[in-house]
Amino acid sequence: MPESWNEPKIIDAIKNIVQETFDIDLHEAPPSMQIRDSGLDSMAILDVVMSLEDMLGQKIKNIDLPKNPSLQDVAAMVMRNLQGASA
């Protein structure tokens, strides 16, 4: 796993992707904010995950998220996948 990727950096990347893709500004949102509170549905969350894959240059294989994930939940899922890939 690249050393530069950590949970706060992934959360910032998610916020940037949401801004660029859906024109929704989450930059002031806390990590605990549930993504659906921004108006995004599960398909939009998958779009964000696919954009993260492109950004990271790595396939995210285990997309195991709660029904209404927070920004932090998505970042933790990405971190688990990155750590699993480097193991």
CATH number at residue 34: 1.10.1200.10
The helix or strand, by DSSP H or E, that contains position 20, with its residue range, turns out to be: helix 7-22
69 has pLDDT over 90: yes
Average pLDDT over residues 29-35: 95
pLDDT tens readout for residues 49-59: 999 999 998 89
Using CA atoms, how far residue 71 sits from 29, 48, 51, 67, 87, in Å, is: 9, 11, 15, 13, 25
In this predicted structure, the answer to whether residue 87 has a pLDDT above a threshold of 90 is no
Does residue 72 belong to any structural domain of this protein?
A: yes
In a domain, 2, yes or no: no
Q: Give the model's confidence band at 82: pLDDT under 50 very low, under 70 low, under 90 confident, else very high.
A: confident
Domain that holds residue 46: 7-86
Look at the pTM and tell me if it is higher than 0.75.
Answer: yes
Tally of domains in the chain: 1
Instruction: Specify if 55 maps to a domain.
Output: yes
